[in-house]
Amino acid sequence: MRFDRSIKIAPSILSADFANFGQEIQAIEAQGADWVHIDVMDGHFVPNLTFGPPAVKAFRPHVKTVMDVHLMIAPVDPYIQAYADAGADVLTAHVEAGPHTHRTLQAIRAAGMKAGVALNPGTSAEAVEHLLDLTDLVCVMTVNPGFGGQKFIDMTAKIRRLRELIGDRPVHIEIDGGVDPTTAPLVAAAGADVLVAGSAVFKGGSVSNSAVYGDNIRAVRAAAESAVN
Ligand code: DX5
Ligand code: ZN
């Protein structure tokens, strides 16, 4: 994974057909997805349940780009090796998931993955200030985590502050929640480069009508790029 700040679209398979993940992943990659975003929920840190390590391992052979695994679980540390073995490229933990995020990020890197740290809407940018040298990606949640299809919460001031704190470190800013062609320009202008989009990518399409995914991905990308170029 080479670092750059170009706009990357990361469809969340939370909005895919749950009976058909292999083909859904192949379809979004064929239609221009840069990364594949996988939302792991534990029914404890967030009020929903999704994918354990065996499911993520089953997705792995279908992902030719970057497998971006977003852990919405607490605790995190007992599961880091399992998600490494499942083949995650980026593993992101929430700063709110426990008192020792510093240790968690060290452990994620030691297991051979890129280390991400996510911030709930109520958490300030400064919560990760002293973690940035251990971090490859900061995920700014623009919804309260747990479900796809929620309304975007404006976090542009936080994104700008993070850009300042990050400086010239090779750290991605990822935005997760309510990203669509209307909101993408706001977050891109503020300094985000990885845009997660679930409902905005999958809406209206299917594996047998996957050109719609391509149209949806291009619409988000064009809107974001228009704000930075
Ligand atoms: C929310 C998840 C998101 C979600 C995004 O808890 O982390 O990745 O799937 O879905 P949309 O784009 O529909 O808001
Ligand atoms: Zn996510």
> Beta-carbon neighbour count of residue 130 at 10 Å?
11
pLDDT digits (tens, 9 = 90+) for 97-150: 999 999 999 999 999 999 999 999 999 999 999 999 999 999 999 999 999 999
Question: pLDDT, tens digit, for every residue of 156-189?
Answer: 999 999 999 999 999 999 999 999 999 999 999 9
Whole-number pLDDT of residue 115:
98
- Nearest residue by C-alpha to atom 1 in ligand 1: 145
pLDDT tens for 15-58 read 999 999 999 999 999 999 999 999 999 999 999 999 999 999 99
DSSP 154-171: --HHHHHHHHHHHTTS--
Q: Among 111, 108, 84, which Cα is nearest to 94's?
A: 108
Specify the amino acid at residue 118: A
Protein residues with CB under 6 Å of any ligand 1 atom: 12, 14-15, 37, 39, 70, 143, 145-150, 176-179, 196-200
User: In terms of Cα–Cα distance, which of 52, 86, 87 is closest to 66?
Assistant: 87
Note the pLDDT tens digit of each residue in 61-88. Answer: 999 999 999 999 999 999 999 999 999 9
Q: CA nearest 75: which of 44, 105, 120, 109?
A: 44
Q: Which ligand gives the minimal distance to the CA of 142?
A: 1
Regarding pTM above 0.85, the answer is: yes
- Give me the domains of the chain, ranges plus CATH numbers: 8-226 (3.20.20.70)
Alpha carbon of 57 to ligand 1 centroid (Å): 21
